[in-house]
Structure 1
């Protein structure tokens, strides 16, 4: 039996030891956050035969995944879907990269581990749109609470509001506020800069307790305090499911089509799936009583379209036989888009560049091995300072564009989120001791789409997450970027900023957006509840087929999405189990 820094790791051969059945009660497509939660929860019924297929590999014994400091190094890699979006109008035709989880654990295996829930009004809107009472804040908070195993350092080395009642101490996902030996050296400068801001000073808040606006110190991050390792869906949910005799989990197994019975009748039924293993193109078929798609906001609509479920005109144009005309599939895609500002830090400040020095890396590794702390225990090295704010109405009105969408949003929702990381987000500055500060638009008005390039499952889809796609989106993002630049160029950060390298004094804001816009990798909404899915997460007009993952989310959250996908899947599992 193998061990990975204190975490039980299943050898690859043991992941698939369960009996192979002729027919499964439930086939889950996708082994990310939602898929693994569902595999665990739905297999608690020993009479239910569950199969999960994940296109990506098993990362159990790879320190690239388990060690927080290496977060981001798997973009791009074998652990990520390495997509390129179509040219974006507001980026001067630039084609952004979109790297998503292609691994057991999905995005939770490769992200920067931030754990944030955000404004409670978002979840109330989920419930109103979907007709699912259990998604409203007063209900889904129980699922949030049940997921999270909270650690707070004692003593806490900074002043931070923490609402302990919205966490538990026995959840599966370890959620840790940073100890003093896990805090970046940059932290006090960044949080004080926002707290002391004269224009709109930040207020410290716990953004996991239903509050949407405020500043968080110390994370929290999905990091297991006892050994400083990443806590993610494969280790927190998948390991337990994989030990059950009624569960079979296949990694490196990509589902390429759903097959249907009753085609041409009123209600087609999902009956089986086709998949390929490893690098093979040999197609295998497995029969199931019910299919649950949990492949994410890009690959779930992609698979539906390849299977003939989606907009009639689009499928006809590609020669794909129509199973069900569902015009909204692949639409309503939203993401959190950001723009970067990069500067050099003094040589004594530890950044990602420090990890490239073999001597220093050996010192960090020794500290990590002995104390589970130090630079290797810092996510990415992502900041633990996260600040969200709403732009006041009078400033919105000064933009001279239609801001009715944003003004109409509930008052607990921020429009902008500010963060930093001790690494260059642009490759041309990777050799510098660089810090990237960035601002994201977290409640976009405009939406994008996912479409097929061809009927060939091997071709990447056509993706647009529509960067700053409305006039108001762009105006708010530019306002936030100017706020960010004013802050990083001010005396408040003079100790840690010894020279800006992007955008610099000669680049216009438009050029900065065209060259420095990126994504938080938070795509949602492409198979939305209320539009495509009913109140049981079923695809409308089809039997035996549900979608439970980020693609089902009808309104994007106001901060990082991983915690919300855990809670969504927990709530969905209860709904399915209640149906018997």
Structure 2
């Protein structure tokens, strides 16, 4: 029999919601916890488990959102995937495990004036989520955590060009990190790629953070949070589903992710007043019925009543985006690349992970940062206080892989003739928004990352493109004898050491796309406090990457696990020193 009032209702069973619910139950098994998830359970579906799986982005478990037309990317609508199942993005992501730099966490803590979110304190939660493959740098890693993390070298996945690649980066002045470890709190330099795969199989969050003892409703959409405004302070009292069913709770925790969490707050009457009032009294059909898994009442009259005006909901939104290239080998007969016929690549471990041995995270010159910020803001920045200048930090991530990209419109196939590169912009200064198109949860949010809108972003990206071109074509081991040229998409000349700013901008506008790292749309310090409570509303929290208040220089999987671990400890009153 279901309880009349739940202790906690968690809206969304993705990475954060699953981790949070599992840990809360672990702290106190008497708690009555209800998780409401829009999708099903994908965790044992073989079509998503492996590196070569094709049922990921655009697949069965992807919400398959699109952004608004991006003005600075040739007006393109960019894919914005999000997991629609228990475990959320852990069912469809690339499995990269990069926690970021200590400065990311410390900048977060400084912004919200709470050292609990700084690196020294967050390390225990990172460790709690981690089962590291090695005892090297033991003080920096968890050995008994929930998620197994591996590396190419540990799996005996070596590549003919690995040493040449490392040497070439060093020739450009890139330091090699201690034990080639990107996950010690210092990520500026070269380290191994880490992925949370065990012998190739992905680990979906609900298989590592079990929901035994937690009640889970799958294939169920929450329309909004019920908010009582009769008292002095608005108070969340439960949720109403899209089919009209209501559940009561002592506390509601929204874990819908950076796209859906702000939408749910707005549909609950918490958000910018003018936007909410615009949708007061909406009556319309769902724009995409595939988003809905329960009963669809097409005569439903949905309306939004403003319960608490909060103009920051959906603001401060940002997303990493990336740019891929293919580079033609001088002599493909040397069997350097995947598809070449090299028998080495037929060994089973080469199917266990990405064909990327190393990751390089680079800063960009401070003088250029300062000049770009002055262009954007009209005044010179203070180097002692400016977010981008007060610390040396990774602005770009660079990956070189030994399997060609096949979706760039350049006619390249995985036939051993090319290797590939990817650049990810880690610290965008452009800010976008999440808004709503109607008062119905079935209609997805309006996603506008506003990519590439600042001079700082342009400067950082141009620097990154020139760095990768120097690696491939400059005075390096790769450039002198191994790489012939870039193979560009149709309509472009190859990138060269002399490519102009205008040319580089045109390539970004044509080819950049999301890295699927949305964050910031319910930012801590603006929408939630440092205990994850929605400011101005009792009994309501947000726990997911939407609360991250800064451009976080990492792939968000590892930081979000740590965030959810920390949130569970805060909510349970478990305190610090868990390990």
- Superposed pair shares fold, TM > 0.5: yes
Q: Does 1:570 align with 2:565?
A: yes
CA gap 1:431/1:475 in 2 versus in 1, 3 angstroms: closer
Q: CA deviation at 1:428?
A: 3.2
Q: Is the 8 A contact 1:83 1:99 kept in 2?
A: yes
Q: CA deviation at 1:109?
A: 2.0
Q: Does 1:404 align with 2:391?
A: no
CA gap 1:502/1:553 in 2 versus in 1, 3 angstroms: same
The correspondence for 2:223, drawn from 240, 253, 256, is 256
Q: Does 1:324 align with 2:308?
A: yes
TM-score by length of 1: 0.83
CA gap 1:189/1:251 in 2 versus in 1, 3 angstroms: farther
Q: CA deviation at 1:304?
A: 1.0
The correspondence for 1:502, drawn from 485, 488, 501, is 488
CA gap 1:235/1:81 in 2 versus in 1, 3 angstroms: same
Equivalent residues in 2 for 1:174-573 (5 A)? 174-178=148-152, 179-184=154-159, 186-197=161-172, 200-205=173-178, 206-217=181-192, 219-224=193-198, 227-237=199-209, 239=210, 241=211, 243-244=212-213, 247-262=214-229, 265-276=231-242, 282-319=243-280, 320-344=304-328, 346=332, 348-349=335-336, 351=338, 368=348, 374-379=349-354, 381=355, 383-396=356-369, 401-402=375-376, 404=381, 408-421=388-401, 422-424=403-405, 426=407, 428-429=409-410, 432-433=413-414, 435-490=419-474, 492-493=477-478, 497=483, 500-503=486-489, 505=493, 508-573=503-568
Q: Which deviates the most, 508-517 or 559-568?
A: 508-517
- Note the residue ranges of structure 2 that are not aligned, 5 or more in a row: 281-303, 496-502
CA distance in 1 between counterparts of 2:533 and 2:6 reads 18
- Note the residue ranges of structure 1 that are not aligned, 5 or more in a row: 1-18, 154-161, 277-281, 369-373
CA gap 1:566/1:180 in 2 versus in 1, 3 angstroms: closer
Equivalent residues in 2 for 1:119-134 (5 A)? 119-134=101-116
SS in 1 for 2:206: helix
Q: CA deviation at 1:318?
A: 2.0
RMSD: 2.8
CA gap 1:189/1:85 in 2 versus in 1, 3 angstroms: farther
Q: Which deviates the most, 45-54 or 424-433?
A: 424-433
Q: Is the 8 A contact 2:369 2:388 kept in 1?
A: no
Q: Is the 8 A contact 1:69 1:375 kept in 2?
A: no
CA gap 1:137/1:530 in 2 versus in 1, 3 angstroms: same
CA gap 1:22/1:214 in 2 versus in 1, 3 angstroms: same
Q: Which deviates the most, 510-519 or 413-422?
A: 413-422
Q: Is the 8 A contact 1:423 1:430 kept in 2?
A: no
- Number of equivalenced pairs: 522
Q: CA deviation at 1:20?
A: 3.3
Q: CA deviation at 1:182?
A: 3.0
Q: Is the 8 A contact 2:437 2:444 kept in 1?
A: yes
Q: Is the 8 A contact 1:186 1:496 kept in 2?
A: no
SS in 2 for 1:51: strand
Q: Is the 8 A contact 1:271 1:289 kept in 2?
A: yes
SS in 1 for 2:259: helix
SS in 1 for 2:47: helix
CA gap 1:90/1:324 in 2 versus in 1, 3 angstroms: same
CA distance in 2 between counterparts of 1:131 and 1:416 reads 27
TM-score by length of 2: 0.83
